[in-house]
């Protein structure tokens, strides 16, 4: 009889593990609390390790078609002075692929098509679970139940499965809030063919601009702010324009070119790394297991790496608890390092003290770009499918 996986959440991580388990003959049911798959969203960058994971999922080609390679990656001061450039071509040659930026909705559609999204059950919110030696039962907030062999909580940063597994389940505010937008915009300095763009770093504020594919620009702004200060739709464009008044051209023009309704606003959180992700037949994956700040652009890639390792562990044994434990042991040190490093990067990128900023900028200009690239090797040069003979 086929073994059955219950996957909670149809985000990047949930769909990735669903595809991989289906490929090895499991019966997979995915439950998603949202009422539909929204086309609203933002861009997501997929570095070489993410692209390698997407190759294993069999969809890297589609990502390259619908997304845009990051051919240029500059860091500038708020008023445009160049601090450094990542050697994107050299890195692409080293890892066999560029990083790509893609609209989240496109990434989700690609993964849904690969899995057969028509079988994802929408409007099904999981609130808890029960388990014994022979099965696990997912409990839904509508009172229904589903039984399976394994339950994978891929239900994101506010995971209900994690809340059932862990006491005192608290998130940590990053100290900054994010505005994100998508628009059509052209600037001959940032050639569409080359792709990529720049980040400009100011005092407690940062603005990023990059080609998204299909002739669009994705931008984000990270702004130091107290937690919970809501910027409602209708006020977001104006808030962004005020924050970035007088900054490096084309920042104000890009914000001006964006429809108010296309601007997202979220406070940013992570979580102190956990020492366990699961219990018996239940485990966590992606943001549910290890929410991290977006400063390394690795949350999505880490969710996919988790999915590959978990599917491999489950394929190699009949003992589900043992497979979950092996998966957790293999993934926890890398994701813990990612969470910590993302936080460290955030404190360096969101500096407010002018003396510290001056020192940081001098350092950035002094260090050769190949040194930066080698410091990122543990992040982007990792190929999860080649580990431990799986």
Ligand X SMILES: Cc1cc2nc3c(=O)[nH]c(=O)nc-3n(C[C@H](O)[C@H](O)[C@H](O)COP(=O)(O)OP(=O)(O)OC[C@H]3O[C@@H](n4cnc5c(N)ncnc54)[C@H](O)[C@@H]3O)c2cc1C
Q: Does 303 bind ligand X (CB under 6 A)?
A: yes
Residues 149-208 that bind ligand X (CB under 6 A): 154-156, 160, 178
| One character per residue 64-103, x = contact with ligand X (rule: CB under 6 A) | ----------------------------------------
Residue 229: what are its φ and ψ, rounded to 5°? -85, 95
State in angstroms the smallest separation of the CB of 285 from ligand X.
6
Which stretches within the chain are classed as H helix?
12-23, 48-57, 60-66, 88-95, 104-115, 160-165, 236-243, 251-256, 299-315, 320-349, 354-366, 369-375, 377-380
C-alpha–C-alpha distance, residues 337 and 322, integer Å: 24
Q: Which residues pair with 150 in a beta bridge?
A: 5
Q: Please report how the helices 299-315 and 12-23 are oriented relative to each other, as an axis angle in degrees rounded to 10.
A: 30
Tokens 């050769």 locate to: 368
Print the binding letters for residues 33-62 with ligand X: x by CB under 6 A, - otherwise: xx---------xx-----------------
How far apart are CB 37 and ligand X at their closest, in Å? 9
Using CB under 6 A, which of 97, 231, 294, 324 touches ligand X? 294
Least distance between ligand X and beta carbon 192 (Å): 20
Contact of 111 with 16, CB cutoff 8 Å: yes
* Number of CB atoms found within 10 A of residue 363's CB: 12
| Core vs surface per residue 50-63: b (16+ CB within 10 A) or e | bbbbbbbbebbebb
Q: In this chain, which of 32, 74, 305, 328 binds ligand X, going by CB under 6 A? A: 32
Applying CB under 6 A, the span of 11-19, 201-209, 234-242, 252-260 interacting with ligand X comes to 11-19
Among 6, 7, 10, 231, binds ligand X (CB under 6 A): 10
| Region 264-293 residues binding ligand X, contact defined as CB under 6 A | 266, 268, 286-288
Q: Any contact of residue 30 with ligand X (CB under 6 A)?
A: no
Q: Is residue 250 close enough to count as binding ligand X by CB under 6 A?
A: no
What is the C-alpha to C-alpha distance for residues 258 and 209, in angstroms, rounded to an integer?
13
Q: End-to-end CA distance of the chain, in Å?
A: 24
Quick one: which of 5, 6, 7, 13 contacts ligand X (CB under 6 A)? 13
Question: Using alpha carbons only, how large is the chain's radius of gyration in Å?
Answer: 21
Q: Residue 153 CB, nearest distance to ligand X (Å)?
A: 8
Interacting span for ligand X (CB under 6 A) from 20-28, 31-39, 318-326, 370-378: 31-39
Classify residue 14 as exposed, middle or buried by CB count within 10 Å of its CB (0-12, 13-18, 19+): buried
The token pair that represents 348 in the structure block = 């360096």
* Candidate ranges 89-97, 246-254, 300-308, 363-371; the one touching ligand X (CB under 6 A): 300-308
Shortest spacing between CB 149 and ligand X, in angstroms = 19
60 pairs with which residues across the strands? none
Give the nearest distance from C-beta 77 to ligand X in angstroms. Answer: 22
**Least distance (Å) between residue 34 CB and ligand X:** 5
- Footprint of ligand X (CB under 6 A): 8-14, 31-34, 44-45, 125-126, 154-156, 160, 178, 266, 268, 286-288, 294, 297-301, 303
């Amino acid at each position: 009889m086929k073994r059955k996986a219950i996957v909670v959440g149809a985000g990047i991580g949930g769909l990735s593990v669903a595809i991989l388990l289906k490929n090895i003959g499991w019966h997979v049911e995915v439950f998603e609390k949202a009422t539909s798959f929204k086309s609203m969203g933002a861009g997501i960058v997929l570095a070489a390790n993410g692209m390698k994971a997407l190759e294993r999922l069999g969809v890297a080609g589609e990502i390259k078609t619908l997304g845009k390679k990051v051919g240029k990656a500059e860091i500038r001061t708020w008023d445009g002075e160049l601090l450094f450039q990542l050697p994107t071509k050299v890195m692409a040659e080293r890892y066999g692929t560029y990083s790509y930026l893609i609209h989240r909705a496109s990434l989700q559609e690609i993964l849904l098509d690969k899995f057969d999204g028509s079988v994802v059950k929408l409007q099904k919110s999981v609130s808890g679970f029960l388990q014994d030696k022979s099965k696990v039962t997912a409990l839904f907030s509508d009172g229904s139940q589903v039984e399976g062999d394994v339950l994978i909580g891929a239900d994101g940063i506010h995971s209900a499965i994690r809340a059932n597994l862990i006491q005192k389940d608290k998130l940590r505010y990053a100290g900054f809030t994010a505005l994100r937008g998508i628009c059509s915009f052209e600037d001959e300095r940032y050639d569409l063919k080359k792709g990529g763009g720049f980040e400009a770093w100011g005092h407690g504020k940062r603005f990023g601009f990059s080609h998204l594919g299909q002739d669009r620009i994705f931008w984000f702004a990270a702004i130091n702010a107290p937690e919970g200060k809501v910027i409602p739709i209708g006020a977001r464009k104006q808030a962004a324009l005020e924050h970035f008044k007088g900054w490096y051209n084309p920042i104000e023009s890009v914000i001006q070119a964006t429809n108010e309704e296309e601007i997202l606003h979220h406070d940013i959180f992570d979580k102190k790394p956990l020492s366990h992700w699961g219990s018996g037949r239940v485990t966590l994956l992606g943001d549910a297991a290890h929410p991290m700040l977006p400063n390394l652009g690795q949350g999505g890639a880490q969710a996919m790496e988790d999915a590959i390792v978990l599917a491999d562990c489950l394929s190699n044994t009949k003992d589900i608890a043992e497979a979950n434990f092996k998966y957790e042991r293999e993934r926890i040190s890398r994701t813990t390092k990612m969470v910590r490093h993302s936080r460290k990067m955030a404190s360096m990128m969101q500096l407010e003290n002018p003396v510290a900023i001056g020192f940081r900028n001098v350092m950035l200009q002094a260090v050769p770009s190949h040194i930066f690239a080698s410091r990122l090797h543990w992040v982007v040069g990792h190929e999860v499918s080649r580990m431990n003979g799986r």
